[in-house]
A and B are shown apart, each in its own frame.
Chain A
Amino acid sequence: MMNKIIGFLVIFMLLVLQIAFVPHMSLFGVYPNFLLAAILIFAVMRGGIWVFLFAFFSGAALDIFSSQAFGIYTLSFILLVWLIEFVGKNLFKATDFSGQISILALSCTLFSFLTPLFIKNFYWLGLGQNIGFWDNLLRIGLLEIMLNFVLAILGLMVFKKTHAQLYNLGL
C-alpha cells in the first residue's frame, strides 16, 4: 500500500512541476511532459491494474489545468498504458532494454498523434478549441516526441538504478 501512496505523491509533484516549472525550460517553445514519462515508465516497469489508475488520475489532473477540453489527456494516458500492456505482452519482450526503448518510442510518438487528434474530435463535438492537426504535428509534434522520448529513457535508467534501493526499503 505504501508504494501506491508514494506513487500518487510522485504524480502530484510531477503535476506541479509540469504546470509551474517545466514550461520555463522549453526548447523552441516546446517542453516535455513529465507525467507522460512517469506513466510510461510505471507501465513498462511495473504494469498491472494500478498503472491504469495512475494514468486515469494523472490525466484527469492535467485536464483540470489544461486549456483544452476536459478528458483529452485522461483518454490519451489510458490508451497508451493499455497499448504498452498489449504490445509488451504480445510483440516486444518488455524485460529487454531494447524492447522497453521500442515501447517508449512508440508510446511517445502515439501521444503526439493522439492529443491533437482528440482535440480535433472534441472540437467537432462542440467542445474545446480548434487546431490545425498537421500544422501542429509538424511544428510541435516532432520536437515533442524527441523530448518526451529522451526524458522517458533518462527516467527509465534512473528508475532502474533506484529500484533496487527502493525494494530493499520495502517500497
Chain B
Amino acid sequence: MFRRNFSKFYLLVGLIAAVVLLIFLNYLGWLDWPKRIFSKAVIPILKPFEAVGHKTSGALSVLFNIKSIIRENSELRRENQELILKISGLTEMAQENKILRQQLQIELPLESKIVQADLIGFDSGNVGQYFLIGEGSGVGVKENQGVIMPGGFLVGKVVGTENNFSKVMELTDSNSSVFALTQETRVGGVVRGDHGVGLVLDMIPPEKEIKPQELIVSSGLDGFIPKGLFIGQVDVKISTESEVFQRFKVKPAVNYNDIETVFVILGNR
C-alpha cells in the first residue's frame, strides 16, 4: 500500500510537470495545431447545443417574467414611435452631410470591414464575462478588435483568437474599458465593466455636466474600435462630491442574453 501511494505521488508530480510543460509550449505557440484539431471537432457540435440552450432559457424567462415583459413591451412601443421620428430627421441630416462633404471635397468616413460570427458558447467558468464566436484568425480576426451587434451596438472586444474561434470579452467584464463620449454634451470618459452586472462611466472631470439619460458612444481613441458605436445610456450618478472624477452608472444598450450573431470589425476597407 505504501508503494501504491508512492506511485500515485509520482503520477501527480509527473502530471503537474506535464501541465507546466504544456503551459510553456502554449506560451510559445506550439500547441496551436492540437488546439486547432480539437476545436474543429468540437465547434460543429457546440452550435446546435447553444441554440437549444438559448431557446430554452428564452422560454423559461418568459414563464418567470411575464409581468415585466408586458410592461417592457408597452414602454418599447412608445420608445419605438419616438425613435422612428428621430430616424427620419437624422436620415435627412446624414444626406445633407454627405452632400456638403462632397461639395467641400472633404473625404467621406471610411467604412469598416466586418465579418459575421455566430455565438457558439461561453466561458467555461464563472470568472469573467466572456463568450466564444465561431470565427478566428483564419478569417482575419485579431485581438483587441471591436465586436458589435446589428445596429452598431458595441458588445465587447476580442481578447483571444484561435484558428477557427475567438474569445470575446463583454463590456460588462471588470477588466473591460473603452474610451467613450457622451453624444450631446461631447464629454469624454472611460466606460468600465462593473463585475458583469452593468457599466460605469468613469473619469469625467468634475466641471463637466452630463445630461440625464444621455446616450454614450465610443470615441474611437481605442484604435481598433471605431468612433460612434452605441454603448449605452447614462443612468444615475454614483460618485460623491469628495471624489476627483465623476462616475455614472450606465444602462447597457445590449442584453447579453439575447446575443446570437455578432460582427467583428476587422478594420477599414
A residues sitting closer than 8 Å to B (CB atoms) are 12, 15-25, 29-31, 33, 35, 49, 52, 56, 59-62, 64-71, 73-75, 78, 82, 85, 89, 115-116, 119, 127, 129-132, 135-136, 139-140, 144
Distance in angstroms between the alpha carbons of A71 and B49 in the assembled complex? 26
Report yes or no: A73 in contact with B22, Cβ–Cβ below 8 A: no
Determine whether B18 belongs to the interface, using a CB cutoff of 8 Å to chain A: yes
The 8 A-B residue pairs with the shortest CB-CB distance, nearest first, are: A24-B53, A19-B121, A20-B49, A23-B122, A24-B57, A67-B130, A21-B53, A71-B23
21 A-B pairs whose Cβ atoms sit less than 8 Å apart in the complex: A16-B42, A19-B46, A19-B122, A20-B47, A64-B162, A66-B124, A66-B125, A67-B130, A68-B125, A68-B128, A70-B31, A71-B19, A71-B26, A73-B124, A75-B16, A78-B12, A78-B15, A82-B12, A127-B23, A129-B175, A131-B128
Nearest residue, chain A, Cβ from B61: A24
Measured between beta carbons, the chain A residues less than 8 angstroms from B42 are 12, 15-16, 19, 61, 65
Smallest CB separation, A32 vs chain B (Å): 9
Cα(A60)–Cα(B31), bound, Å: 11
Indicate whether B11 reaches chain A with its CB closer than 8 angstroms.
yes
Quick one: which of B223-261 are within 8 Å of A by CB?
Answer: 257
User: Which residues on B are within 8 Å of A, measured CB to CB?
Assistant: 5, 8, 11-12, 15-16, 18-20, 22-23, 26-27, 31, 35, 38-39, 42, 45-47, 49-50, 52-54, 56-57, 120-128, 130, 132, 159-160, 162, 167, 169, 174-175, 195-197, 257
Find out whether the CB atom of A64 lies under 8 angstroms from the CB atom of B174: no
In the complex, the answer to whether A74 meets B39 with C-beta atoms within 8 Å is: no
Residues of chain B lying within 8 A (CB to CB) of residue A139: 195
Task: Establish whether residues B27 and A127, one from each chain, have CB atoms under 8 Å apart when the complex forms.
Answer: yes
> What is the distance, in angstroms, from A29's C-beta to the closest C-beta of chain B?
6
How close is B120's CB to chain A, nearest CB, in angstroms?
A: 7
CA gap between A127 and B67 in the complex, in Å: 46
| B49 CB contacts on chain A under 8 angstroms | 16-17, 20-21
Measured CB to CB, the closest approach of chain A to B121, in angstroms, equals: 4
A12 to chain B: which residues have CB within 8 Å?
42
CB closest chain-A residue, reference B31: A70
Contacts of A65 in B (CB 8 A): 39, 42, 121, 123-124, 132
- B18, B42, B126: residue with the most chain A Cβ atoms closer than 10 Å: B126
Complex: A74 Cα to B21 Cα, angstroms: 12
With a CB–CB cut-off of 8 A, which chain B residues contact A74? 19, 22
| Cβ contact within 8 Å between B18 and A56 | yes
B46 touches A115 (CB 8 A): no
CA distance A140 to B20 in the complex (A): 27
Q: Which B residues lie within 8 Å of A71 (CB)? A: 19-20, 22-23, 26
Pair B120/A66 contact, Cβ less than 8 Å: no
Residue of B11, B124, B162 touching A62 (CB-CB under 8 A): B124
List chain A residues, Cβ under 8 A from B160.
Answer: 67
Residue of B nearest to A23 (CB): B122
A61 CB contacts on chain B under 8 angstroms:
38, 42
Are A140 and B57 in contact, with the CB atoms below 8 A? no
The closest CB in chain A to the CB of B7 belongs to A49
- Give the residue among A12, A29, A66, A69 with the most B Cβ atoms within 10 A: A66
Q: Which residue of B lies closest to A53 (CB)?
A: B15
Residue of A21, A61, A116, A132 with highest tally of chain B CB at under 10 A: A21
Known: A20-B50, A52-B11. A119 touches B127 (CB 8 A): yes
Select which of B11, B39, B123 is within 8 A of A66 by beta carbon.
Answer: B123
B19–A67 CB distance below 8 A: no
Taking CB atoms, residues of chain A closer than 8 Å to B123 are 23, 65-67
**Residue from A20, A116, A139 whose CB has the most chain B CB atoms within 10 Å:** A20
Query: Whole-angstrom distance between the alpha carbons of A34 and B14 in the complex?
Result: 26
